[in-house]
Every structure is written in structure tokens, then in C-alpha cells.
Structure 1
């Protein structure tokens, strides 16, 4: 695969500073996130190094091992150049979400901001949450009529600031004025209610939104919490306004159709099931089964045999199988279940049972 000169994301899995080579946004996709002391100077936080990141360790390995094909690389770069969301459609388990992590890892764009969609998700959930009741309760505790002698006669202790009760969601955090675009994963957008795709359009077009609770407090800056662990940011004048449009990845299992205005504002990618090479790389990332050169080792002598059967069932039998099923089968094979005929039958009938068969 030859690397094209216009590629920023190269699909190598090796981190680099290629995001600095991204040309300026087209005039119709430039945003005005230049007000306030932190404007265009926010840097993404490092990956958290605590117990909460144990699962993300696997995500990092997946991202490094992910082998994007040429079509995927091209469409990722189109979305980066055009500052448009990337809508990825494909069957469950083909690697749609992993591509977002691969881009963030290679371009050093910080932790992925993930918004998992349900049928009850609304635009507000992605933008911010305000705990008004908690603030009122704390204000009552502080100003409940009890005089504090150290504050002087008749004086009451000041209530906590609003920033302790307002947290930006994944979308709201992505729209802060970062120096380079953050990666926002809006996962399984096809599960949303009918209105959410259309509701997203205005935010995607304007690159900003207002927080009324902060706007009412005047033109000054307010420190609020963000979707990053322990993250905070200053919002000036009650408006969150991006400087660089985030790299937005929307995934869909193709369970519904989207409005035409939504589709024409996205770069669309249909992701096909992975081949044997990509599956082996995924297995290595998940099961930590690589040698010093990063090549997948044969798991208990049977990994390649199971991968080949997995692919044959998909290709020849039309079976719907998810990568999670393959991982479960390989894990149990590594624990001896593939050594006997009874164990092999159990793997085939239970762990590799096609999803389209009842």
C-alpha cells in the first residue's frame, strides 16, 4: 500500500505528529473559538493511569494493532480535511469503534470521548448536565440562616460556584477550543430516537452551543467539569465554541435509515468484515499474544484453525458472527477446550453459533 501525500492518518499504528500537517479548514468549516484565555490552547489530557483505565488498556492495544485498509484510510483523511463527521456502517464486531481509537492513538489526539447512544439519548445528554437540585441543596446548607461568627454578624457562608455542578458531556467536551481536534465516538447512532440525528446537525454546522445556566451569569468565565477524568475547562460568556472541529466518528449497525440532510453532511464508510490478517492482529491485541516483533503467535496450536473456520462460516455459510465470539472461542481454546472432540463441539455450537440462527 503506497502512502499518499495528502494522508494525515496513515494507518500504521505508530504514533506521530502528522496532525500538524493537516491543512487549514475550508472557509465554510472554520470556527471562531478564539475568545477567552484558554482559546485554541487546550491540550488533550494524557490517558489516565489508574484502575479505571484497565479496560482502556485493551483499547490502546487494539488501536495500535488495527490494520486499516486503503479505503478506510482515505475516508478518514477526507473527514479530517473536510472537518466532517465520519459515519461508519457495518455489522457488529467488524471494528467500527476501534477505528476511532486507532486514529486517536496514531495522531496523538488524546483519549477518545465516547458517547454510547440508547433510544432515550437526547442532544442535551451529549452537551452537558447540570445538577440544579444538588446546587440548591448545598446553597440551603450554606445559607440556612445559621450565622457563622468568623464571617461577621449577619453574614452567611457563600454557596459553592456553579462549576461544581455542571459537567460537559462527550460532545460538549469535544467542542472546547482544543489546539488539535479531539476524537469523539458517537457509538450506535442508529439506536437513537428519530430526532437525534437532525438535532446534531445544527451543532455540527455551527461548532458551538450555549449553556443558558452559564450565560445568565454574564460575560465572565466559569470553570466547569468536562467528560475527561478530573478534567476542567473555562467557559466564557456561557458559550462553548470549538477552534478545531473534532474528528467525529458515528457508528451504525445499519438498523435504520438516516435523514438526507444528515447524510450529506457526513463522510460515509461501509466497513466490511475483516480478513484473516486483520483478525489475527485483533486477536493479538485482545489476548496479548504477540512475539517481540509484534506478530501473532499460534494460540495453543489452534488459533489459525479457529480463525479460518470463523471466516469460512461467514463467507460460505452466510453466518452472522461477531468478533467477540471469535475472541471467546480462542480464549477457551487456549484453556484446553479445543483439545478434545467434546470441547470442539461445545465451542462450535455455543461460542461460534451464528447470530442469525435461533
Structure 2
């Protein structure tokens, strides 16, 4: 029986995305373009991706998002691997460098599409103003919209820090797969060349950014606020749960290159026990655990670097502090 999954989460880079069926007919008004083979399997996301171990829930959600061309909304506490999942997908499916868009309260959808330095152009100090395109640069979302041949991977990080209208405005652009840049349209030229967010030259026709393929989009949220229903219904949603002990051990082995025998070392075992078994586990992130094990176990050198029991206890308390709830 053929496996329905395009993304497996544990395979070397491959080009199975070429077998992805056309999007549902209601998702794309234009005729879909043909997916092109990758030109290289030398993934720029390799270092982030290889140690990461996605859960089966993550793998299913990623594949649903790929088939339906829907954004994947991951909600969970900081440090739970939400933003690393996209590196794993980009690495395995050979989607190139992840386009990263960190969100804050001042972020706008237009700012994610392009930035235009009109003041800088006016201050250039010449009788003839410089070319508009010299002062216009695409943002991460704009770069994703002009990708040719294959979809890009776009991370919209901590979307819950945005203002109330941001989420719906963003989904409208992703739904349409296009955006018109007024400053370029007014030039009246057939094509102009601008820089994308990675510094590469791209040609824009008549000011219109138009996606050949829907980008693969992951949006992360720390659960700091609710999103409107129209936004939520257009996303594939997944809550990232606290990992089980076996998952924690697998993460530690992969990230810190430890052996299974090392997990039984007294201090490593105590840290994992704290994370999994105590009441604060739901408020301590996985990367806090990795920090603690890295400092107290993998850096141990009996000749030059040692921790007394008191120092270990103090370090554990410092590094494994809750990330929410009362301070102190």
C-alpha cells in the first residue's frame, strides 16, 4: 500500500513533493503550475533539522497542510520546538532556506510583503530621483509569493503578538496568493527587478506578486490570546503537548548526542525526572531541560570542570524555573 505521506519526519532529503496532487479546486482560482525538481539536496536547514524529532501528530498535521495548501498553526509554550518543525520540513522536502518572519505588536502584513524607503529615495540628493526599485525590498511573505518552480517554507513566528486585524489580513493574502505593489504598478513598466528578503534579484511584472504555488506556512503561537473564528477555520491547528518520557529521552539523545547509557547518569536522570514527573513540567520548556543537561552533564570534565552537589542543585533551580505563574 502506498504511503499517503509526503513528509515523513525521519527521511533524508527527497523529491516526493513532486507527487503532491493539485490543490482542492476552491483553493486556487488560477490553473496550478507544474512543480519542478529540486536543483540541490544541500539543505541550508540541515543543522537545525537533523536533531529534531517531530511527533506523529506533527507529521500528520504537516501532511494535511501540504495537501490542502493551508497554513499550519502550532500553539504551545515557548521552547517546545514549534519553530524548528518548519526546518525539518524544508530540509526533508528540499524547499530551501526557511523565510522567517518574527511578529511583534508593530508588525503589518504589508511590512511582511515589502518595505519601501521613500524618505531615503527623496534624500538621495540628486536632481533626478533614483529608481524606485532600488529602494524597495521584498519581505518574507513577498519572497514566498514570487517563488518559482517549488513552494517556499514561511515561518510566521509568534503571531499572537500581532494586533487584532493582522491574522485575518494575513490569511486573505495567503488565500489569494497574490498582492499588488502600488509603487511598482505606477511605474508603468512591464518588469522591474527588486531584491527579495534573502538578497536575491527577482523580476516583478506590472507590480503584481503572484504565487505559482502556495507556500508551506507554519504560524506559531504561545497561546497568549484567542484568534477570530474566520482565521481559525482556514488553518490546520495543532496544540503541541508536553512530551512523554520516551519522547524526552529521544530529544535529549538527538540534540546532545548522548548515548542511552548516559541518560541513566544520576544528574541527567534527576533532571529528566524533574521535567517529566513534577508539577512544574507543564511550565518548563524542553529547551530549558536541554540547557540544564548540557551544562551539568555534557560539559562535565573531572579534571577541569566539576559541579558540587550544592552547585548542581542551585543550577537546576536556576535553569528549570517555570516560564509562567508566580515569580520566585
TM bucket normalised to smaller: 0.7 to 0.9
Deviates more, 1:230-239 or 1:39-48: 39-48
Asked if 1:341 is matched to 2:309, the reply is: yes
- The gaps in structure 1 that reach 5 residues or longer are 49-55, 144-157
What is the aligned partner in structure 1 of residue 24 from structure 2? 26
Question: What do residues 34-67 of structure 1 show as CA deviations (whole Å, max 9, x unaligned)?
Answer: 99xxx9879799989xxxxxxx8xx633412222
Q: C-alpha separation between the residues in 2 aligned to 1:327 and 1:255?
A: 24
1:28 Cα offset (Å): 1.7
Q: Please state if 1:129 is matched with 2:92.
A: no
Displacement of 1:20 in angstroms is 0.8
Aligned to 1:213: 183
TM-score by length of 2: 0.87
Matched, 1:327 2:295: no
CA-based RMSD: 2.9
Mapped contact 2:271–2:316 kept (Cα < 8 A): no
**Based on CA coordinates, which of the two structures has the bigger radius of gyration?**
1
Q: Which segment is superposed worse, 65-74 or 203-212?
A: 65-74
Q: Please state how far the C-alpha of 1:309 moved relative to its aligned partner.
A: 2.7
Alignment of 1:1-358 (within 5 A): 5-30=3-28, 32=30, 60-138=46-124, 140-141=125-126, 143=127, 160-228=130-198, 230-284=199-253, 286-287=255-256, 289=257, 298=262, 301=265, 302-313=267-278, 316-317=279-280, 319-333=282-296, 334-336=298-300, 339-355=307-323, 356-358=325-327
In the aligned structure 1, how far is the partner of 2:168 from the partner of 2:273? Answer: 42
For structure 2, the 5+ residue unaligned runs are none
- Over 3 Å counting, the alpha-carbon distance change for 1:45 and 1:162 in structure 2 is farther
Q: Cα 1:222–1:34, aligned 2, differ >3 Å: closer, same or farther?
A: farther
Q: CA deviation at 1:9?
A: 0.5
CA distance 1:136–1:300, change in 2 (3 Å): farther
Q: CA deviation at 1:282?
A: 3.8
Q: Contact 2:70–2:236 at 8 Å: present in 1 too?
A: yes
| 1:169 Cα deviation from its structure 2 partner | 0.6
CA distance 1:34–1:210, shift in 2 (3 Å): farther
Cα 1:213/1:161, change in 2 over 3 Å: same
Q: How has the CA–CA distance of structure 1 residues 286 and 69 changed in structure 2, closer, same or farther, with 3 Å as cutoff?
A: closer
- Counterparts of 1:118 and 1:343, CA distance in 2: 37
